[in-house]
């Protein structure tokens, strides 16, 4: 509603038209187990070919760590000049998403081995091999979707508490606290952002305009399997 008002004002007062789309949820991807995987990119044609080959170990990282890369290459199985391109390929694969097209976060990848060709190896070949290794590893490492969870605080007259609680539960909300003062009930809940679109309108209608709420980001939680499967299927259909 606030966005609609702002868009209308921009058009009336500043003659600026805005393209407004449906709100998008900033999902993320991560992994739940440690694996080893490889990426091998080989193209042989008439002249100079392409050859890049890396073996990586992928493991869950600390919360908030993003993408962490370590090289344990010894003995020159992957020459020094190809390590950075391989890392870049892995990083870009994470940024573009692997399971459902959302950025992969909180993973640690270790380059442990690989091989090269004196003539055919190149930075690009190792970048592609790095990307292939990361994609293979993530899909083996029990990948999951994460969704932003919001801290939602609602204040409503006690008469409407039952309806509001039921509505929060229907939005996959987890009630974390309740209280009451002077006939006003206060509820604190953790609710997925994906379920909060349109809530301002809904709470007004459920409380005859007397309910208010605030919302702020709290954390990322794993998306329930049935919900995640629907999101993944939808994104694959749009690919």
pLDDT in tens, 90-144: 999 999 999 999 999 999 999 999 999 999 999 999 999 999 999 999 999 999 9
Report d(CA 6, CA 10) in Å as an integer: 6
* pLDDT tens column, 142-201: 999 999 999 999 999 999 999 999 999 999 999 999 999 999 999 999 999 999 988 988
Residue in 119, 123, 43, 138 with CA at minimum distance from that of residue 83? 123
Percent of the chain with pLDDT over 90: 82
H or E segment and range at residue 141:
none
Percent of the chain with pLDDT over 70: 98
Averaged pLDDT, 11-36:
90
pLDDT at residue 69 tops 80? yes
pLDDT at residue 4 tops 90? no
Q: How far is CA 227 from the centre of its chain?
A: 14
Report d(CA 189, CA 29) in Å as an integer: 24
Nearest 5°: phi and psi at 185? -90, 140
pLDDT at residue 239 tops 60? no
Residue 20: the pLDDT is 78
Domains of the chain plus CATH, in order, are 33-141 (3.30.230.10), 148-228 (3.30.70.240)
Residue 22: the pLDDT is 74
Q: How far is CA 186 from the centre of its chain?
A: 31
Q: Give the highest mean pLDDT range of 19-23, 73-77, 106-110.
A: 106-110
Here the tokens at position 19 are: 């393209």
All residues at 6 or more sequence positions from 75 whose CB lies less than 8 Å from its CB, including other chains: none
Taking residue 18's Cβ as centre, other Cβ atoms within 10 Å add up to: 10
pLDDT averaged over the chain?
A: 93
Q: How far is CA 134 from the centre of its chain?
A: 16
Contact predicate 50/125, CB 8 Å = yes
Taking residue 188's Cβ as centre, other Cβ atoms within 10 Å add up to: 14
């Amino acid at each position: 509603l606030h966005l609609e008002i702002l868009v209308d004002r921009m058009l009336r007062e500043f003659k600026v038209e805005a393209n407004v789309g449906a709100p998008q949820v900033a999902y993320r991807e991560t992994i739940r187990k440690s694996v080893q995987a490889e990426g091998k990119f080989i193209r042989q044609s008439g002249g100079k070919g392409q050859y890049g080959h890396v073996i990586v170990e992928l493991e869950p990282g600390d919360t908030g760590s993003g993408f962490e890369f370590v090289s344990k290459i010894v003995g020159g199985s992957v020459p020094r000049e190809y390590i950075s391109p391989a890392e870049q390929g892995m990083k870009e694969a994470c940024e573009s998403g692997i399971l459902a097209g959302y950025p992969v976060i909180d993973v640690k990848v270790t380059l442990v081995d690989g091989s090269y060709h004196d003539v055919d190896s190149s930075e690009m070949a190792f970048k592609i091999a790095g990307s292939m290794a990361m994609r293979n590893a993530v899909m083996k490492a029990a990948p999951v979707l994460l969704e932003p969870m919001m801290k939602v605080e609602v204040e409503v007259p006690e008469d409407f508490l039952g309806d509001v609680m039921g509505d929060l539960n229907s939005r996959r909300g987890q009630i974390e606290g309740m209280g009451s003062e002077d006939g006003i009930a206060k509820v604190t809940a953790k609710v997925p952002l994906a379920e909060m679109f349109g809530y301002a309108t809904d709470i007004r209608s459920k409380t005859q305009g007397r309910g208010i709420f605030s919302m702020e980001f709290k954390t990322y939680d794993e998306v329930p399997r049935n919900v995640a499967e629907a999101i993944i299927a939808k994104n694959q259909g749009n690919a």
